[in-house]
Structure 1
Amino acid sequence: MSNIGRSLQRLLPIALPPALKNHPANLYQVLSRTPNAVGKEVHQIRWSEKHISDSFWRVTRARFKCNGTHGKAWGQLYWKGQLVTTGRDEPIRGALKYKWAEGPSIAPKLKS
């Protein structure tokens, strides 16, 4: 390998940066990974741990600060597949307190 190839290999990252990895984080970190957070479905990790499935927030607007680690988000809550939010979108609570992930919650299968 040439010297140029070796120096390029050192400059290129081996893995994705932490901000782009798909791992549980606070709500704003999860939403700020993509350019458009509107329409994204997110759920709290603890819902899956409590065997609550098909529950999620559908984000209708988001505002970020501190490089996407803090902010405000609004959306509609779907609980066990049913829309719970009536009328307008409402603020999403627990954004910094709990760990969040993309998609609806999935209850783990029970061992038999």
Structure 2
Amino acid sequence: MSRITGAIRRLLPKQLPPSLSNRPGNLYEVLSRYPQDGVGQVVHQTRWTTRGITDCYWEVTRTKLKLEGTHGKAWGYLTWRGKRLSEQDEKIPGGLKYRWAPGASRGRLGQPSPPKAAA
């Protein structure tokens, strides 16, 4: 390794900041990757997919991010198994507690979707 390459590697961070990563993270890290801090994005908790819960997501309507997108508050509409439950936007719970990913939840790979409850 040349001296120049070694010097450059010492200057670069060992880990990308959360806003540049494409992996799941807390809600605010995921939202900070998008323009307007994620307003208009659809996100879901990754645990929903691992439990076989499909077609569930939050549609983000507003955000207040702080600490470079690692903490904050977010509001949106909850859609659970294809039906919107929220009439007004509400604060999204579990932003730091759970791992989040963009898009709607999908069932486990190779597993059939659970039957929907009759209304």
TM-score by shorter chain over 0.5: yes
Quick check: 29-38 or 57-66, which moved more? 29-38
Report the TM-score, using the length of structure 1 for normalisation.
0.81
Determine the structure 2 residue equivalent to 1:3. Answer: none
**How many pairs were matched up?**
105
Determine the structure 2 residue equivalent to 1:94. Answer: 94
Report the TM-score, using the length of structure 2 for normalisation.
0.77
Determine the structure 2 residue equivalent to 1:49. Answer: 50
User: Can you give the 5+ residue segments of structure 2 that lack an aligned partner in the other structure?
Assistant: 112-119
Q: Distance in 1 between matches of 2:105 and 2:93?
A: 17
1:46-76 deviation per Cα after TM superposition (whole angstroms, max 9, x unaligned): 0001100110000000011111100000000
Q: Distance in 2 between matches of 1:17 and 1:96?
A: 19
Q: Distance in 2 between matches of 1:24 and 1:106?
A: 15
Residue 48 of structure 1 aligns with an amino acid whose one-letter code is T
Q: How does 1:41-80 map to 2 (within 5 A)?
A: 41-80=42-81
Residue 51 of structure 2 aligns with an amino acid whose one-letter code is K
The alignment's C-alpha RMSD in Å is 2.4
Q: Distance in 2 between matches of 1:46 and 1:83?
A: 20
Determine the structure 1 residue equivalent to 2:110. Answer: 110
**What displacement does 1:18 show?**
4.0
**What displacement does 1:22 show?**
1.3
Q: Distance in 1 between matches of 2:54 and 2:33?
A: 24
Structure 1 residue ranges (4+ consecutive) displaced by more than 6 angstroms after TM superposition: none
Quick check: 28-37 or 17-26, which moved more? 17-26
Determine the structure 1 residue equivalent to 2:116. Answer: none
